[in-house]
Amino acid sequence: MSQKEDACQHKILILKDTLEVIQGKWRLPIIISLIHGNKRFGEIQRDIKDISPKMLSQELKALEINKIITRTLYDSMPVTVEYSITPLGKTMHKLVDEILEWGIRFRKEIIGK
Amino acid sequence: MSQKEDACQHKILILKDTLEVIQGKWRLPIIISLIHGNKRFGEIQRDIKDISPKMLSQELKALEINKIITRTLYDSMPVTVEYSITPLGKTMHKLVDEILEWGIRFRKEIIGK
DNA sequence: GTAAGTAGTTACCTATAAGTAAGTAGGATT
DNA sequence: AATCCTACTTACTTATAGGTAACTACTTAC
């Protein structure tokens, strides 16, 4: 096996691991929402618009387990919960920007605008 | 609605569109394989190892439709087919690199290595 | 003529992701 | 006393992504 093939296969393995963390319809949208500032449950829902409370709750838990976001409960009245991005989560900012930039380029070339 | 909220929601919409193109277990791995050079069907299969011919065929078609890769048939004996990345596909190189870089950082912090 | 390699296709099945609708709990508002 | 708000949970259903196995068509090698 050549070194070139080996490097390529290694990258594919890392990518497959990484996809397990960011894969899905809602995780990156939630991350974008929280990169733009700490938010409450209802605020994230309003940002993403068509996400159901079930999916939002489920995906927030997964992101918390992976230490990408933090959940903070405030003993105010009524009880409020604030979600925020961790330092690790913040490092996804470049990744997200690259996807967005490519998405805009793709749109221009395919949908032709 | 504030301008900040508006910018965030706009980004989420673009992201959701973009995900439709790159989403799934196999598309980015195929793209990585082809960024590393033109390949034949069997060579991609060997790079990705656990992809079935059905999934590879299906995903290659989707990537071709989105003008990310090109399929070229050679009338040699036996017939060979070469897949290559388009200029548009090449522009995904930075996106892929950022995901990989983040994946390595994530691994270090979570799995602690 | 039998097997192996090229590049897939087809039918069927399963697993998981996501959607829907309703309910819960506590305090505040009218 | 009834309804609203926040932040969810639960049960159930549907849709889609992905997996498995076998088969096709053509050519070359043994």
Task: Report pLDDT for A77.
Answer: 73
Find, among B54, B2, B51, B5, the residue nearest to B30 by Cα: B51
B47 touches chain A (CB under 8 A): yes
Question: Is any atom of strand C within 7 angstroms of residue B15's beta carbon?
Answer: no
Contacts of A32 in chain B (CB under 8 A): 8, 11-12, 15
**A21 is near strand D: CB distance < 7 Å:** no
Among chain A residues 63-82, those with CB within 7 Å of any atom of strand C? 77-78
Q: What is the pLDDT of residue B2?
A: 65
Sites in chain A below the pLDDT cut of 70: 1-5, 113
What pLDDT was estimated at residue A1? 47
The total number of residues written for chain B in this structure: 113
Which of A22, A98, A110 shows the shortest C-beta gap to B95?
A: A98
pLDDT at A2: 62
SS3 A40: strand
- In sequence order, the 6+-apart residues with CB closer than 8 A to the CB of A86 are A67, A68, A69, A70
CA dihedral of residues B5, B6, B10, B13 (deg, nearest 10): 70
What pLDDT is recorded for position B14? 97
Query: Is the distance between the Cβ of B24 and the closest atom of strand C smaller than 7 Å?
Result: no
Provide block-wise average pLDDT over 10 residues at a time, chain B (113 residues).
79 98 98 97 95 98 98 84 97 98 95 69
A35-55 pLDDT, tens digit each: 999 999 999 999 999 999 999
